[in-house]
């Protein structure tokens, strides 16, 4: 009698190359666990790579802000010193104009001096607006009236350059914002538009109330924006003009940001460029008047 006849072996019936059922389950579980570990490892590697990229971007942005803060302090000091020097010169020029009332030739030279002083004052104002980190003093005002006010201030220059101004803003459009900041932003956008149309053209200012909020757009019929300049348009001190400070669009961007909004630059399909200031609806609540 075979000694195995009384007790069957657990391996009985397995052919060469077969694995016991328990071992098969163990190997299958091991393979599954290995795949999961590999997938987790890849996910962690991707997460580390993403976080490293974000950290590098944040570090670059922090370094940039620190450089701008240092530069802003220097610019503010220089601006105040220049303004202190400009005040007496402007006063003396005004007194000199009175004495030269009958001398046409001297008045021409004096007008050139005054034009230069005005340009310097504009640069100083840009520096001071850029370096002054103040919060908006909001009021609820008539947007159409503000735009007409800025256009009236630029009327002599527009007429001299033969630029047609088209204003398309509903009389009922109101804006809750810092009026002085918005005025300065619109003035900078319009001055930039005039600079790119020295031989004449069309300046279009539109305003509307959208689902997002109030939007104000300044468009020109100039040559448009170069594609390689789009990424640096709003960088402080970036300019393509020989006599510019490069702060105009930086001030526009800051105005939008302190109101919780944004500014968008784009080339128009029919030619020219358009800059759109967007003020979000949640920032458009009318300020509550204090009780008397």
Residue 182 has a pLDDT of: 94
pLDDT, one tens digit per residue, over 78-125 is 776 777 777 777 787 777 777 776 676 677 777 777 767 776 777 777
CATH 3.30.565.10 domain range(s) in the chain: 139-283
pLDDT at 167 over 90: yes
- Predicted structure pTM score: 0.61
* pLDDT at site 43: 87
Sheet of strand 163-168: strand arrangement? 163-168, 201-209, 213-220, 273-280, 262-267
- The Cα angle at residue 179 between residues 115 and 206, in degrees rounded to 5: 85
Q: Which residue has the tokens 């008045």?
A: 107
Predicted pLDDT of residue 144: 94
| Residue spans in the chain of domains classed CATH 1.10.287.130 | 21-133
- In this model, does residue 290 exceed pLDDT 50? no
Distance from C-alpha of 218 to C-alpha of 193, rounded to nearest angstrom = 8
Retrieve residue 203's tokens.
């300046």
The helix (H) or strand (E) run that includes residue 279 is strand 273-280
- pLDDT tens digits for range 177-222: 999 999 989 998 998 899 899 889 999 999 999 988 999 999 999 9
Structure confidence at residue 277 (pLDDT): 96
Q: How large is the angle between the packed helices 179-195 and 248-258, nearest 10 degrees?
A: 150
Provide the CATH number for the domain formed by 139-283 in this structure.
3.30.565.10
What residues does 276 pair with on adjacent strands?
Answer: 217, 264
Residue keyed to tokens 């047609």? 164
Residue range 271-288: mean pLDDT, rounded: 79
- In whole angstroms, give the CA distance from residue 186 to residue 182: 6
Query: How many other CB atoms are found less than 10 A from the CB of residue 173?
Result: 18
Q: Look up the CATH number of domain 21-133.
A: 1.10.287.130
Q: What pLDDT sits at residue 140?
A: 93
| Region of poorest pLDDT, from 34-38, 71-75, 144-148 | 71-75
């Amino acid at each position: 009698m075979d000694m195995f006849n009384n007790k069957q072996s657990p391996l009985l019936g397995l052919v060469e190359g077969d694995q016991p059922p328990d071992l098969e389950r163990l190997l299958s579980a091991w393979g599954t666990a290995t795949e999961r570990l590999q997938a987790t490892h890849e996910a962690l590697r991707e997460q580390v790579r993403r976080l490293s990229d974000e950290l590098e971007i944040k570090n670059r942005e922090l370094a940039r802000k620190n450089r701008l803060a240092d530069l802003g302090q220097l610019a503010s000091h220089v601006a105040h010193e220049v303004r202190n020097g400009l005040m007496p010169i402007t006063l003396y020029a005004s007194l000199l104009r009175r004495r030269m009332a009958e001398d046409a030739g001297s008045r021409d030279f004096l007008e050139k001096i005054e034009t230069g002083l005005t340009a310097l004052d504009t640069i100083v104002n840009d520096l001071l607006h850029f370096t002054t980190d103040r919060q908006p003093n909001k009021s609820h005002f008539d947007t159409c009236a503000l735009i007409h006010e800025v256009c009236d201030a630029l009327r002599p220059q527009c007429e001299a350059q033969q630029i047609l101004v088209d204003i398309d803003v509903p009389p009922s459009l109101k804006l809750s914002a810092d009026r002085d900041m918005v005025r300065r932003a619109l003035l900078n956008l319009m001055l930039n538009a005039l600079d790119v149309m020295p031989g004449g053209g069309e300046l279009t200012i539109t305003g509307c109330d959208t689902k997002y909020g109030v939007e104000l757009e300044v468009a020109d019929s100039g040559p448009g924006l170069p594609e390689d300049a789009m990424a640096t348009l709003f960088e402080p001190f970036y300019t393509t003009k020989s006599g510019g400070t490069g702060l105009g669009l930086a001030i526009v961007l800051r105005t939008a940001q302190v109101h919780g909004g944004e500014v968008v630059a784009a080339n128009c399909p029919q030619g020219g460029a358009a800059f759109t200031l967007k003020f979000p609806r949640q920032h458009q609540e009318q300020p509550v008047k204090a009780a008397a």
